[in-house]
Structures are given as structure tokens and as C-alpha cells.
Amino acid sequence: MIQRLQKTCRELLETGKVDVVIGYGQKHPELPPYPVFVTAPDEVGQLVWNAQCVMNLTTYLTRKEVKALGRPAIIVKGCDAKALIVLEKESQIDRSQIVVIGVACQGVIGGHPVDGQDPRAATAAKCKVCDVHMPPGVDITLGETDSGPVTAAWRYSDLDAFMDQTPEERMAFWQEEFERCIKCYACRQVCPLCYCEQCVVDKNRPTRVSTSASLKGNYAWHITRAFHLAGRCIGCDECTRACPAGIDLRLLNLSLARAAEENFGYRAGYDPQAEAVIGAFSEQDKESFIG
Amino acid sequence: MTQKQHLDTQEGSFEPKIIAYVCNWCTYLGADLAGTNRLEYPANVRIIRLPCTGRIDFNLIVKAFEVGADAVLVSGCHPGDCHYTSGNYHARRRWMLFRELLNTLGIEMDRIHFTWISAAEGRKFQQVISEITEKTRQMGPYRAYKRICEAS
């Protein structure tokens, strides 16, 4: 599989179809993989693919520094491929200028597996409900896998369990979570869909979102971050992985994803033709909550 | 003693602070009509006029609680009546999702109100403000969010 991946990328670079391959590199099987940008055919030996390749590389496609490298090829898993669909829908990428190499994925490792523990137990939360083991809409597919077992009963089951708590308990939970936030904005930086050149939180005339890392500012930021991704978040959970404070941002993303699906039958990143939730409307939209 | 502390400590004299974001073309004129018709409504409401409900950024709702509101009202034109054709439809859709997010965060949903009030509905404006004020008075100050804002 890795040899085929390297061979494919070598061909792409040698024929000049692409100038750079955005993929995963790894120094040692025990060390975490990191993103690599391969620009010469002789360097394709760096490329790897395994269940530790958690990162969603599509976040680099919209970066100035990466665009400067020329026409890209990118290695994506099923979940990452969804980000491409949203980026294209929002006119952020020209899909015809990108070679997308999809890899069959049976799930990636979520955290650090404990010794003696079944490795499946360490599968990332998103993989337990994944329904895109074979990435859709890619140019080259490598590897094969069956649709894969969806191990959780329902893709929103984690959210359901959380929502069983009372509002007071939920408030207390988030207060504890947000208290730890240090406003490093890693959640924003890593997100493939947070591509604004100037984020609303960086605008200070006037200041819309309190920028201090106080609890008040943290609430304002996390509400803003989550809602700017409403109906857009594809659930790659990179924000949750990147968070140094371990804040469970996934729950917020899930709640908005479920609202979009239940009310509008829309799931971000699945249908390139579907009308986006925000920016469109229907006269039939529910308004039972409006007096 | 600041006014905020005063409100928090003396339950009996609690007067809710309500921030109302209203659209320029319908609800604001509805409020105006209530005024010209001498319809009395509680002075607890602070009206903030915006061009359209479509202009009401969700950050403004957060901001309202940050500055000490006990309840927030967002109000604009009835569906089909938007001065800009579709601003209220866009807003409605946004609120549907935003409410879900706030609910997940455990924000008290009884403190956020959405209504359509037209320029002819001065009486409805009076009723809505009276009801919200009374309801908020019974719920008491929004201590949970005030604590968030006071924490360092």
C-alpha cells in the first residue's frame, strides 16, 4: 500500500502533473506522523500511510505558503474528502487544479493506546460512526476496505448521552471545560474550514468577541467558533484533537450537525450539489419557537 | 454598591434587564405605535434598533448576556414582510441552529425570545414586553451567566 502510494506520487511529480504532494511522513513507527510537502520525485520515500495518520491535511490547501508551492496533490481519508467538497462549494479551491489521492481507511487512532488494551478501543470517536471508509469524489483511490462496521449505535449517540443531563449540569460541564481554554486558537488554525484571512476574533474596531482568556471571553470565542461552522463542519474532529486543554469541542459541532440534519436534511460534505444550510432559506422553515 | 450588586442581593426589588434587538421596519415601528397610542409597557426593556433581523449577528445575543441582560428579545417583520425581501427568513434559519447550540451549552432557553411584530402591532409589542418582563422577574437574575462574566 505504501509502495503504491509512493509510486503514484513519484509518477505525479515526474510527469509534472503536480508540483507538490501533501502527505504524511513518519520518522519511526512509535512516533506520531507529521505533514510533509514533497516537491521532488526522489523524496517520495518520506510518504507513509497508516492508522496513526490522524491529521486532516486539507487545511493546508487554502494557505498562502502552500499555494506558493504550485499545483498540489493531496492524500485524504474519507472524512478529509468531505472537507474538499465544502471548500469547493464555497469557492475556496479549484478542484480541477488539485489531484486528490484517496486512501481506504478503517479508522485512525484517537488517543494513545494503553498497553494491553485492544487497539480498536483507541479508535478515534469519529471513526466509530464513520460512513466514508472509501473517500468519495477523489481522483485516485488506493487500497480497499469494506464499508466497515459502525460501532456506535448512532452517529449522535455521544451527543444524546450528553444531552440527557439537565441544562444546569451542561452549564457546569462547559464552564469547567472553558476555564481551561488558553485562547491559543489551535482549534481555528487546524480547521480546514476556518479559512478567513482575518478572523472575527482578530478584529478590534470594534471588538466583537472578547479577546481575553477569561471565562467570559472563552465562552464568546467557543460560541463563535462553533457557530461559524454551523452547517459546514464535516466532523473531522481536528479541533478537538489539536486542543491542548482537551476541551471536547466535538459535542458542540455535533449539536449543530444534528440540527442541520434534522431540520434541513443536510449533512456537510456529502452532496456537492446540495444547497448549503446557512445562506439559503425556505419559506417552510420551522418557526414553532417564534412568538 | 453598584447597581448590579444591588439587584443581585435584594431579591425583592429585582428589576430584570431585557435587551431587545428589533428591526427598523416592523418591530421598531410597532414599539413606536405603542408609544403614540399611549400603551404602557415595562421600562425594563432596552431597545436596540437594527436595519433588519438578518443583520442580527449571534454575537449580539452573547454580548447582551455579557453586559448583564437577564433576557434577550429578537424581533422583526413577519415572514413575507421583510423590507429587504428575505432577511427575516435567513435570520429564522440561523436562530434554529443557534438555539440548538445554546441549548447544548446549557444556556437557559427561557431567557431568549423570538417574535414577529409588525408596524401595526403596537398592542402585541406591549403584550410581548409585559410577558417577558413578568416571566424574567419570576426567574430572577441570570446569575449563571453573570458568574461567568465575573470570573477572571
| A92-148 pLDDT per residue, tens | 999 999 999 999 988 888 765 555 565 555 788 888 888 888 898 899 998 887 766
In this structure, the answer to whether residues A178 and A224 fall within a common structural domain is yes
Residue A202, domain member (yes or no): yes
Average pLDDT over residues B63-73: 95
Q: What is the mean pLDDT of residues A79-84?
A: 94
Residues A58 and A101 in one domain: yes
C-beta atoms of B98 and A215 within 8 A: no
ipTM of the complex: 0.89
* A61 assigned to some structural domain: yes
Contact: B114, A289; criterion CB under 8 Å? yes
Point out which residues pair with A74 in neighbouring strands.
A22, A100
Confidence at residue A43, expressed as pLDDT on a 0 to 100 scale: 92
Is the pLDDT reported for residue B11 higher than 70? no
Per-residue pLDDT at A125: 86
B22–chain A nearest CA distance, Å: 14
Range A213-233 average pLDDT:
94
What mean pLDDT value characterizes chain B? 91
Question: Which of B93, B125, B142 has the highest number of chain A CBs within 10 A, making it the mutation to test binding with A?
Answer: B93
Residue A275 lies in a domain: no
Candidate from B66, B97, B99 with C-beta closest to A220? B66
Q: How large is the average pLDDT for residues A215-231?
A: 95
Averaged pLDDT of chain A? 90
Residue A238 pLDDT exceeds 90: yes
**How distant is the Cα of A178 from the closest Cα of chain B, in angstroms?**
10
Domain co-membership, A77 together with A194: no
Grid cell, residue B62, equals 452573547
Could you tell me the residue ranges of all domains in chain B?
Answer: 17-144
Q: CB–CB of B128 and A291 under 8 A?
A: yes
Which is higher by pLDDT, A155 or A188?
Answer: A188
Q: Does A203 fall in a domain?
A: yes
Residues with Cβ within 8 Å of residue B67, at least 6 apart in sequence = B19
Chain B residue numbers with beta carbons less than 8 Å from the beta carbon of A214 are 151-152
The Cα–Cα gap between A210 and B63 comes to 9
| Contact A172/B at CB under 8 A | yes
pLDDT at B137 over 80: yes
Q: What pLDDT is recorded for position A209?
A: 86
| Full residue range of the structural domain in which residue A171 is found | 157-264
Is A49 within a domain? yes
pLDDT at A117: 60
Least confident of A83-92, A143-152, B65-74: A143-152
Half-sphere exposure of A284 (CA within 13 A, CB side): 2
**Cβ B99–A163 below 8 Å, yes or no?**
no
Chain A residues 152-171 with CB within 8 Å of chain B: 159, 162-163, 167-171
Interface test with B, best of A219, A233, A250, A283 (most B CBs within 10 A): A219
Q: What share of chain A has pLDDT > 70, as a percent?
A: 94
For chain A, what's the residue count?
291
All residues of chain A having their beta carbon less than 8 Å from the beta carbon of residue B102 are 223
Whether residues A168 and A100 fall in one domain? no
Q: Which residues of B touch A278 (CB under 8 A)?
A: 93-94, 97
A208 vs B59, B92, B98: nearest CB: B59
* B101 in A contact zone (CB under 8 Å): yes
Q: Inform me whether the pLDDT recorded for B43 exceeds 50.
A: yes
B81 contact residues in A (CB cutoff 8 A): none
Contact B115, A290 (CB under 8 A): yes
Is B55 part of the contact surface with chain A (CB cutoff 8 Å)? no
Q: Can you give the pLDDT at residue B151? A: 84
Q: Does the pLDDT value for residue A202 go beyond 60?
A: yes
Average pLDDT over residues A22-49: 92
Residues A187 and A72 in one domain: no
Instruction: Note whether residue A284 is domain-resident.
Output: no
Number of domains chain A is built from: 2
Q: How many helices (H) and strands (E) does chain B have?
A: 6, 4
Q: At what angle do helices B87-105 and A215-228 cross, to 10 degrees?
A: 130
Entry pTM: 0.91
A268–B contact, CB cutoff 8 A: no
The pLDDT value given to residue B1: 42
d(CA A172, CA A176): 6
Is B107 an interface residue toward A (CB < 8 Å)?
Answer: yes
| A73 inside domain | yes
A7 and A134 within one domain: yes
Domain B17-144 falls under CATH 1.10.287:
no
Residue type, A180: R
Looking at A29-33, A44-48, A180-184, which range is the least confident one? A29-33
Cell numbers for A121: 478501543
The number of angstroms, rounded, from the C-alpha of A236 to the middle of its chain's C-alpha atoms is: 3
A203 lies in the same domain as A249: yes
